[in-house]
Amino acid sequence: MSEFINENVNKTDSIIETNTTKKNQEYSADSIQVLEGLEAVRKRPAMYIGDIGVKGLHHLVYEVVDNSIDEALAGHCKNIDVFIRPDNSILVKDDGRGIPTDYHTKEKKSALEVVMTVLHAGGKFDKDSYKVSGGLHGVGVSCVNALSSHMKVEVYREGKVFIQEYSCGKPLYDVKVIGETDRTGTTTTFLPDSSIFITAIYQYDTLATRLRELSFLNKGIRLSITDERETNADGQHPSDSFFSEGGLKEFVVYLDENREKLIQDPIYMEGERSNIPVEVAMQYNTSFNENVHSYVNNINTHEGGTHLAGFRRALTRTLKTYAEKSGQLDKLKFEISGDDFREGLTAIISVKVQEPQFEGQTKTKLGNNEVMGAVDQAVSEMLSNYLEEHPREARMIVDKVILAATARHAARKARELVQRKNVLSGSGLPGKLSDCSDSAPEGCELFLG
């Protein structure tokens, strides 16, 4: 019997040893994969564009449009047109300088092909070409190329028309000249790869909202969008054109058009601190909500960051200092919080930073510490000047803040009263004070004292 047991134990040990050896052999140097070129983008697209749903699909358009906006920031572009084609492909056309097409010595190919097919390649690293830009890592348009089943780029430059097409990020032929022209710019057409995205249907309103936003952030630049998938009663394709002369002031008015304004005209501040241009427009309304949007180099930082923190700090400190000096807080017997200063506030904060540090490729949060101080200082000075020059509006704003603080304080007191009543009622009564009416025998009485 013992021989039988020993024999089975030996067989089990042998099987375990064989499986362990097999696993060790399977995980070897051959198991380490190196993704070359744009393979990494196709393998892990969400790392570069956020997700593969509706948000990521529209992000492709934003990446291409942002390149045209960067040309506008550099002073070389005035018109940007977006078309949704009948097959749900996207065409983006601008009148910028055009992507360089000459021979790239290091990569031994056209600069256009380098920009479109090589990660971390672009003109945004050279601050002589772009002082500020939304593109930072040189991966934006090449990611769009990688995630498109077909892409075509036409460049109008140096009197010639250059063209190159791609499939899933790979060029179908070398850059070639197909004609002559008297204009400059770049036209990009791409069809998102339906095998990667959950949906490949573009939403007109989503794209139009982003283009309208960009027109407010870049006054003097015209942006348009046309939906070629539909035709209206006049036989025309639905389209919108956006152009702003007032910039952020018009943006705030647009956001607050359905709210009752507290002051007639938006507060507009524009200045520069530590070589960081700061632009702010703000408006108070009679609502109870805060509606603040922050931008860095035209990129909407949904999660805020140091520029938003600097603005909030300056707003709270400056308004509180003015309110104390004016004597409006003399009768107030409780502290005002930062939230009270932002109740009913609609504001746009836009900064231009040469070397912004974002959290991730999708750029939703700014991390530069120096930007906080620059925005804080700029807003403090400009807002202080506004309050001194507009005492009537300043008093109305402070009254609104005091009202918000009073309501918050009253709500807290009411909440504390309700909680105290709950503790002192029913089964919450401690010890001898508990209610015995339901559980005690007949004749039971509660004596106090």
Average pLDDT over residues 48-64: 90
Q: Using alpha carbons only, what angle is made at residue 27 by residues 24 and 33, rounded to the nearest 5 degrees? A: 170
- For residue 223, give its domain range: 39-229+238-242
Average pLDDT, the chain: 84
Per-residue model confidence (pLDDT) at position 239: 96
* Same-domain status, 139 and 256: no
Q: Which of 251-260, 306-315, 327-336, 396-405 has the lowest mean pLDDT?
A: 327-336
**Is 159 in the same domain as 56?**
yes
Give the model's pLDDT for residue 362: 60
254 in the same domain as 221: no
Instruction: Judge whether 223 lies within some domain.
Output: yes
- Rounded CA gap, 298 and 223, in Å? 14
Q: Does position 5 have pLDDT exceeding 60, yes or no?
A: no
Residues 225 and 257 in one domain: no
Q: How confident is the model at residue 339 (pLDDT cuts 50, 70, 90)?
A: confident
281, part of any domain: yes
Task: Determine phi and psi for 151, rounding to 5 degrees.
Answer: -145, 140
Q: Are residues 167 and 273 located together in one domain of the fold?
A: no
Helix or strand run (H / E) with residue 90: strand 90-94
- What per-residue confidence (pLDDT) applies to 331? 78
Q: Any idea which of 242-246, 281-285, 370-374, 399-403 has the lowest mean pLDDT?
A: 399-403
Assess whether pLDDT exceeds 80 at residue 141.
Answer: yes
Q: How far is CA 68 from CA 121, 130, 133, 201, 295, in A?
A: 16, 12, 10, 23, 17
171 and 120, same structural domain? yes
Q: What percent of the chain has pLDDT over 70?
A: 81
Residue 50 lies in a domain: yes
Give the pLDDT confidence of 196-211 residue by residue, as tens digits.
Answer: 999 889 999 999 999 9
Could you tell me if residue 267 is inside a domain?
yes
Enumerate residues 6+ apart whose C-beta is below 8 A from 62: 210
Burial 125-164 (b: 16+ CB within 10 A, else e): eeeeebebbbbbbbbbbbbbbbbbbbbbbbbbbeeebbbb
3-state secondary structure (DSSP) of residue 205: helix
Do both 207 and 302 map to the same domain?
A: no
Last residue of a domain, one of 195, 210, 242: 242
Q: Do 164 and 208 sit in the same domain of this protein?
A: yes
CATH number of the domain that 114 lies in? 3.30.565.10
Look at residues 165, 198, 162, 155 and name the one whose alpha carbon lies nearest to residue 178. 162
Residues 220 and 359 in one domain: no
What CATH number is given to the structural domain containing 295? 3.30.230.10
What percentage of residues in the chain have a pLDDT greater than 90?
56
Q: What is the pLDDT of residue 193?
A: 93
- Are residues 111 and 200 both part of a single domain? yes
Domain count, the chain: 2
pLDDT tens track for 58-103 = 999 999 999 999 899 888 999 999 999 999 999 999 999 999 999 8
The residue-averaged pLDDT of 287-307 equals: 91
Beta strand ranges found along 158-250 (DSSP E) = 160-167, 170-171, 176-180, 185-192, 222-227, 239-242
Q: Is residue 72 part of a domain?
A: yes
* pLDDT tens per residue, range 9-35: 455 555 555 555 555 557 777 666 666
pTM score, two decimals?
0.79
Report if residue 148 sits inside a domain.
Answer: yes
pLDDT of 166 > 70? The answer is: yes
Of 218, 242, 266, the residue at which a domain comes to its end is 242
Give the residue-averaged pLDDT of 272-289.
92
Asked if residue 106 is part of any domain, the answer here is: yes
Q: How do residues 181-238 score in pLDDT, each as one tens digit?
A: 999 999 999 999 999 999 889 999 999 999 999 999 999 999 999 999 999 888 899 9
